[in-house]
Amino acid sequence: MCVCRCLLSARKSLEQLTVAPRCGVIEFYTIFLRLLPLMVSLLAENKDYDAYLSYTKVDPDQWSQETREEERFALEILPDVLEKHYGYKLFIPDRDLIPTGTYIEDVARCVDQSKRLIIVMTPSYVVRRGWSIFELETRLRNMLVTGEIKVILIECAELRGIMNYQEVEALKHTIKTLTVIKWQGPKSNKLNSKFWKQLQYEMPFRRTEPMLTHEPALDVSKRLQNLRC
């Protein structure tokens, strides 16, 4: 139904373009801008994944209570809640990537098949320049600059003052469609927290209801134990 509405709207805009062959550059550009989000919506309907999850693991010698919580959130809580509670389909490189070419080519292909790009920005991600692949690969960079893919940046800690932080700020300014959401530690893990509401709002629309809405919002760690049983 959504695709049909987009096609009808796009058809009307194209008809306006064809019946006004002498329209000026400004009018043509206006119609083009009107069509662009419709075309993006149509392309998104054919994506295989709701989101690509980008995260850099913590080096063993950097382990601390804080990094343990961040890693557990990125590797367990975030994917489990999005997939098993909300019903989204994520692409997680360590789990889903099947090499078919170079690593960068494979990442570009899989991001291209995702409706959202979720970047979990931790101090380790910043220091190790985990985002650099999105600058090095031409296709990935074009997707960010043109707004072809919507980026959700989850900040897990205060990043100011960390090595390479200024590069992260520069990257943010190159991304056309960007939302920054703060993860504030264990208190954000509750399913009724502001964090999950913000994240769900930025994710693709789903017609199905969450799988566990009949239960009260508890700490996610308790939910995960139930989900794995």
Report H helices in the chain. 2-19, 25-45, 65-72, 78-80, 93-96, 103-112, 123-127, 133-136, 138-146, 165-174, 194-202, 220-228
- Whether 71 is a known active-site residue: answer no
Q: Which of 135, 137, 148, 202 is catalytic?
A: 135
Measured over the CA atoms of residue 191, residue 193, residue 198 and residue 199, the dihedral's sign is negative
* Residue 223 and residue 192 in contact, taking contact as beta carbons nearer than 8 Å: no
Residue whose token pair is 């692409």: 91
How big is the chain by its Cα radius of gyration, in Å?
Answer: 20
How far is the C-alpha of 107 from the C-alpha of 70, rounded, in Å? 23
Active site residues: 135
